[in-house]
């Protein structure tokens, strides 16, 4: 998934993610999510401005790593196997598997 989940409120994302889980095979399938992961401090202004825009226009938001763990693990039931961020970038790959 690329830049999809940040367009929706968490409750809708959980619905999408649960449908994806239905198509996955335990021990085999991986879900790769390419999204912004906002750092807890010293975030780039472009990323935080986008977060404010998403909040006001779509009732959604840009997520921190802790927010992604909450959404993917706690709410949708995925296991996160890694979060990979390029140096000086806000975009990351979040690798998930069935929990």
Domain boundaries, the chain: 5-98
Using alpha carbons only, what angle is made at residue 62 by residues 14 and 93, rounded to the nearest 5 degrees? 75
Instruction: Report the C-alpha gap between 63 and 72 in whole angstroms.
Output: 11
Nearest to 58 by CA among 19, 15, 3: 3
Determine whether domain 5-98 maps to CATH 3.40.50.150: yes
Q: Which residues are catalytic?
A: 6
- Determine the pLDDT at residue 70: 96
- Determine the pLDDT at residue 52: 79
Instruction: Report the C-alpha gap between 22 and 14 in whole angstroms.
Output: 13
- Determine the pLDDT at residue 20: 96
Query: Which residue numbers in the chain have pLDDT < 50?
Result: none
pLDDT tens digits for 21-38?
A: 999 999 999 999 999 898
- Determine the pLDDT at residue 77: 95
Q: 9 in helix, strand or coil?
A: coil
């Amino acid at each position: 998934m690329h830049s999809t989940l940040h367009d929706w409120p968490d409750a809708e994302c959980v619905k999408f993610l649960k449908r994806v889980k239905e198509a996955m095979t335990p021990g085999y399938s991986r879900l790769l999510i390419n999204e912004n992961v906002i750092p807890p401090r010293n975030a780039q202004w472009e990323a935080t401005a986008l977060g404010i825009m998403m909040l006001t226009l779509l009732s959604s938001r840009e997520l921190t790593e802790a927010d992604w763990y909450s959404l993917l693990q706690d709410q949708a039931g995925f296991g996160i196997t890694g979060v990979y961020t390029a140096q000086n970038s806000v975009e990351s790959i979040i690798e998930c598997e069935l929990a």
